[in-house]
Amino acid sequence: MPRYAAIDIGSNSVRALVAEVVPGKTRALWSDRQVTRLGESVFREGRISNQAMDAVCSLLSRMAGVIGKHDVDGMRAVATSAVRDAGNQARFLERAAAAIGAPVDVISGLEEARLIHLGVMARGPHTDGRALVIDVGGGSAEIILSEHGARKEAFSKPLGAVRLTEIFLKHDPAEAIELQRMEQYIAEKLEPCVARIGTRPFDRVIGTSASAAALLCAIHRIPNSNREEAERRKATARQARRLYKEIRRKTVAERRKMPGVGPRRAEILTPGVAVFLQAMDAFQVKTLHYAAAGVRDGIIADLASRRVGRERSLLDRDQRRVVEQMARKYGVAVSHARQVAALAHSLFEALYPLHKLPPESGRLLQAAAHLHDTGHFISDSAHHKHSAYIVANAGMPGFTDTERHMIAMLCRFHRKSMPGARHEGYQLMTPEERRRLLLLLPLLRLADSLDRSHEQNIEQVACRERGGAVVLEVRSRSEADLDLWAAERVADVFREIYGRSLQLVNMRSREWSCGGSSDYE
């Protein structure tokens, strides 16, 4: 299961997330959020203060330490509004990268909007129709129009809660003239967004960020310990207006006593609510929903969609050269070996939700795909045993002894009987190595069978689930009767190991049903 990490260095807080990703689902393994107010000194003086820089870099170092324990396949760290505007940006990025052990990307407001949209769409709930996403961060606010899950318009405006506090609200409680100037500024920044997006009714309006959560929690008196409840609530424009009228007259100390308002959030609650209220009015929105998604969720979704870390399941250049040289040495048809390796890797990735093996296992599967026929050099009879002998006794630079033994066992059992108590090489393996071998063998057997003709008829394979069965969709460039017939014979082994029946569908013909009667023509 691919595992990714994201760090979002915002103007008000730093957020981190480690998550596992499978098709249609993201499972958080660890998350953290710490208020840092990195933007305070930037919006006041134009630079990140030494104190803020020290605190944030110390926090980033601790977060990186936790992330390092999760063995992630990919990570991205980004910095947003405050760092975009900081005069000493270069110094901060140098120190932040050293603390994390990876570069930090300063992203534009539009890239921030893209990631927020990705995060909201990945987390849900959302609508398939016309949706408006409003994110009010510490330094900027992002306004996004989404239609049928696609981002149509996006704006990033300097309307963050920390920024507005530093620029406009100098007294506690804020004076009427300060609030008036802030409200006028917000209206001016929202005007081009409304002109472009329009006020045609939205199927759903979604507020993200801690400002949105605080608004919902304050309206419904949801305690911080139960903040996830906010995702099941909504706020009307009337409720938001009533809340704004209440908090604009309160001191910070008084706002801290309000249910659902944290002690640090109380300091910047007023401008955050003001932006949401004015946006709702400007877009003629009656109801606001909250989604606990943001930039870090978007980073995870983006890394997953780009399949970052996929290279870990592929042979590297040196390993590929080693196995192909061995294949040629022992008279293996390299075109067949490469085809089986490609099919095996496609099956490894497509069936990941079932086997959940570490990516490195894919490399060993590919290596075995190249070498499983080397035993023909000794004898066609029991060639699988001879292949295992050749691999087990070969010098294979780039592979450890344990990896070489796994490759040898994959070659040994790529045909005929499955491993059992009577097989010495299998008994020498640890329980975890045996489990890995058993899960990989059906994939190798399927890949080899799908090129039984040695004519590379199969162009592509894809898997999906249907009624508890695994449906293997095969796209062939020509008739592939022999290849499909051979693959059908692997169905029993697949069912034995994975506990699922296997059905093959030839995209050039009707369904080929494995393990039963066939209506393939």
Three-class secondary structure assignment of 253-289: HHHHCCCCCCCCHHHHHHHHHHHHHHHHHHCCCCEEE
Is 521's pLDDT higher than 80? no
Last residue of a domain, one of 238, 257, 292: 292
Residue 353, pLDDT score = 82
257 is a domain residue: yes
Residue 227, pLDDT score = 83
Residue 83 phi/psi, 5° resolution? -70, -35
- Residue 139's nearest CA partner among 114, 154, 157, 153 is 157
7: left (phi over 0), alpha (psi -120 to 50) or beta: beta
115 is a domain residue: no
Q: Could you tell me if 491 and 428 lie in one domain?
A: no
3-state secondary structure of 329: helix
3-state secondary structure of 479: coil
For residue 485, give the H/E element and its range.
helix 481-488
pLDDT category of residue 519 using cuts at 50, 70 and 90: very low
List 106's β-bridge partners, or say none: 79
Task: Write the CATH number for 214.
Answer: 3.30.420.150
184 is a domain residue: yes
Is 302's pLDDT higher than 60? yes
205 is a domain residue: yes
Are 511 and 503 in contact by the 8 Å Cβ rule? The answer is yes
Instruction: Please state which of the ranges 45-54, 188-197, 500-509 shows the lowest mean pLDDT.
Output: 500-509
* 3-class SS string, 409-421: HHHHCCCCCCCCC
Q: Could you tell me if 401 and 443 lie in one domain?
A: yes
297 is a domain residue: no
Residue 125, pLDDT score = 62
Q: Could you tell me if 228 and 257 lie in one domain?
A: yes
Percent of the chain with pLDDT over 90: 83
Q: Which residues of 323-357 are buried (b: 16+ CB within 10 A; e: fewer)?
A: bbebbeebebeeebbbbbbbbbbbbbebbbeebeb
Residue 226, pLDDT score = 86
| The two structure tokens encoding residue 348 | 């490894």
Is 506's pLDDT higher than 90? no
Give mean pLDDT, residues 301-319.
88
Q: Could you tell me if 274 and 411 lie in one domain?
A: no
Are 231 and 2 in contact by the 8 Å Cβ rule? The answer is no
Distance CA 280, CA 295 (A): 22
Distance CA 488, CA 470 (A): 13
- Residue 280's nearest CA partner among 254, 244, 329 is 244
Give mean pLDDT, residues 406-435.
94
Average pLDDT of the chain to the nearest whole number: 92
The single-letter DSSP state of residue 487 is: H
390 is a domain residue: yes
Percent of the chain with pLDDT over 70: 96
Residue 467, pLDDT score = 87
For residue 386, give the H/E element and its range.
helix 383-392
Last residue of a domain, one of 412, 427, 449: 449
Tell me the residue range of the domain where 421 lies: 310-449
Task: Write the CATH number for 338.
Answer: 1.10.3210.10
Contacts of 128 (CB under 8 A, 6+ apart): 148, 149, 203
Residue 516, pLDDT score = 34
Q: Could you tell me if 443 and 460 lie in one domain?
A: no
Domain count, the chain: 4
Distance CA 399, CA 510 (A): 43
Please identify which residue in the block is written with the tokens 């592509």: 460
Give mean pLDDT, residues 492-506.
94
Are 140 and 112 in contact by the 8 Å Cβ rule? The answer is yes
Q: Could you tell me if 325 and 242 lie in one domain?
A: no
Q: Could you tell me if 31 and 51 lie in one domain?
A: yes
Q: Could you tell me if 398 and 442 lie in one domain?
A: yes
Residue pLDDT, tens place only, 266-301: 999 999 999 999 999 999 999 999 999 999 999 999
Is 260's pLDDT higher than 90? no
Amino acid at position 304, single letter: A
Count CA within 13 A, CB hemisphere, residue 439: 19
Instruction: Please state which of the ranges 139-143, 207-211, 430-434, 511-515 shows the lowest mean pLDDT.
Output: 511-515
| The two structure tokens encoding residue 319 | 């390993």
Q: Could you tell me if 327 and 402 lie in one domain?
A: yes
Task: Write the CATH number for 483.
Answer: 3.30.300
395 is a domain residue: yes
Amino acid at position 203, single letter: D
Q: Could you tell me if 444 and 460 lie in one domain?
A: no
Residue 511, pLDDT score = 43
Distance CA 444, CA 372 (A): 9
Last residue of a domain, one of 48, 80, 107: 107
Amino acid at position 43, single letter: F
Q: Could you tell me if 31 and 167 lie in one domain?
A: no
Cα 83 to Cα 41, 52, 108, 115, 304, distances in angstroms: 11, 12, 10, 17, 26
Is 515's pLDDT higher than 60? no
Q: Which residues of 299-315 are buried (b: 16+ CB within 10 A; e: fewer)?
A: bbbbbbeeebbeebbbb
Residue pLDDT, tens place only, 69-101: 998 989 999 999 999 999 999 999 999 999 999
pLDDT category of residue 501 using cuts at 50, 70 and 90: very high
3-state secondary structure of 490: coil
Is 520's pLDDT higher than 60? no
Is 517's pLDDT higher than 70? no
Contacts of 516 (CB under 8 A, 6+ apart): none
477 is a domain residue: yes
Task: Write the CATH number for 24.
Answer: 3.30.420.40
Q: Could you tell me if 234 and 283 lie in one domain?
A: yes
